[in-house]
Amino acid sequence: MQNYLSIVQHILDNGVKKEDRTGTGTIAVAGAMFSHDMAEGFPLLTTKKMPFQIIATELEFFIKGITDKEWLKERNCHIWDEWCNPKKVSYGHDEETKQNMADERDLGTVYGFQWRHYNAPYDNWNSDYTNQGVDQLKNLVEMIKKDPTSRRLIVNAWNPQQLDTMALPPCHWAFQVTILDGKLNLLWNQRSVDVMLGLPFNIASYALLLHLLAKETGYGEGTLVGFLGDVHIYSNHIDGAKEQLTRDPHTHKLCTIETGNFTSIFDWNANDTKKKGYESYEKISFPIAV
């Protein structure tokens, strides 16, 4: 995963100080690209310990189009704890608002809703959206099977009409699939890139999605590519970034993953996929910026 560490080093060497929405402050660069050949192993970072099960659970949440924060919390996934549908609680930094945001379970029209019910009128986390909106993920799978040469194999999470009902506007806002030489490649676009905390999750999540789409459509696993926009390290992550760069990425080999009981990506459960042979350096704690 030298490609990832090279991005970290590039920001430390060339990043420009920039204020941000959270008030934390960052150093940032304009644009970077991540690329990984899945034949080299599953891209779960080894220079710090990564929680694969949490990543897989969030991806299941997206694939199922769920918008209920409690569904995640019940499965010990706390990625979305601090956020909620801004129509229910308006975003703010004061402690009372933060607590109200944490207590509200509705996340609104976030990633999975757009993947499975794009632009459907939104009511609440427990509403029935069956056959409402555009099921982009289903359409993608059908198109891959029917017309694998297509250059229109795209799923888009950025919906300007519903940004005001999303807990967060999508950071990774679209992904595309290409089929080349019998292999499925996945390319994702990301507007805002928290390099130390978020990007390692994004890499593993889209690698897992690539794996599942390949199983669903019968293709081999090709290349994972990320086109990254505002690429930044938060000011309170810099020391941890420097520590991570002291760790040799070749000390531990990349793990592999295996998925059992697979019938369809739409029936997939996070527990169906297991990592094999994962070893890493110890965890580095990076505080989340809300």
Residue 83 near residue 167 (C-beta atoms within 8 A): yes
For residues 48 and 175, what is the distance between their CA atoms, to the nearest angstrom? 26
Residue 174 near residue 158 (C-beta atoms within 8 A): yes
Q: Which residues are catalytic?
A: 171
Placement of tokens 């100080």 in the chain = 17
| Of 187, 199, 252, 204, residue with least CA distance to 10 | 199
Q: Which residues contact 125 (CB under 8 A, 6 or more apart)?
A: 66, 67, 68, 69, 105, 106, 107
For residues 111 and 108, what is the distance between their CA atoms, to the nearest angstrom? 9
Can you give 125-184 as a three-state secondary structure string? CCCCCCCCCECHHHHHHHHHHHCCCCCCCEEECCCHHHHHHECCCCCEEEEEEEEECCEE
For residues 219 and 180, what is the distance between their CA atoms, to the nearest angstrom? 10
